[in-house]
C-alpha cells in the first residue's frame, strides 16, 4: 500500500478536524453570546455553552471518523480473506493436476 497516500489522508483528516473545530467554536461562541445577551445572564454561561457545543461537535467528528475507519478495515479484512481462499483453491487445483499427471 502506498504510505504517501496514507500520510496524506491522515494529514487531510487532521486539517479538516482542526477546521471543523475552529468553525464549531466560532458558531458556538456566536450562539452562546446571542443567548447570553437575550437571557441577560452572566458571561460564564456563554463560555460554558460554547465549550459544551465545541466538545460535542469534536466528539461527533471523531466518532464518525472512527466508524468509517472500522468499516474500511472490515472491508479490507473481507477482501483479504477472499483472496486467501481463492489462492488456496488455485494451489490445491494445481497440485491435484500434478498428482494426476504423475499417477498416469
Three-state secondary structure call for residue 11: helix
CA gap 11, 79 in Å, rounded: 26
The predicted pLDDT at position 36 comes to: 72
CA gap 41, 49 in Å, rounded: 12
The predicted pLDDT at position 5 comes to: 57
Among 12-16, 40-44, 59-63, 83-87, top mean pLDDT goes to 83-87
Tally the domains of the chain: 1
**103 pLDDT more than 60:** no
Chain segment 53-90, per-residue pLDDT in tens: 778 877 888 888 888 888 888 999 999 999 999 998 88
State the average pLDDT over residues 30-45. Answer: 73
Q: Which three cell numbers stand for residue 88?
A: 488456496
Q: Which three cell numbers stand for residue 73?
A: 478495515
- Write down how long the chain is: 104
CA gap 9, 58 in Å, rounded: 19
Domain that holds residue 22: 3-103
Amino acid at each position: 500500500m502506498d504510505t504517501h497516500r496514507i500520510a496524506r489522508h491522515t494529514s487531510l483528516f487532521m486539517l479538516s478536524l482542526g477546521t471543523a473545530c475552529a468553525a464549531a467554536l466560532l458558531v458556538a461562541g456566536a450562539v452562546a453570546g446571542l443567548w447570553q445577551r437575550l437571557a441577560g445572564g452572566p458571561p460564564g454561561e456563554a463560555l460554558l455553552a460554547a465549550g459544551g457545543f465545541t466538545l460535542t461537535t469534536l466528539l461527533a467528528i471523531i466518532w464518525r471518523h472512527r466508524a468509517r475507519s472500522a468499516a474500511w478495515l472490515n472491508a479490507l479484512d473481507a477482501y483479504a480473506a477472499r483472496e486467501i481462499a481463492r489462492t488456496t483453491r488455485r494451489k490445491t487445483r494445481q497440485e491435484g493436476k500434478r498428482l494426476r499427471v504423475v499417477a498416469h
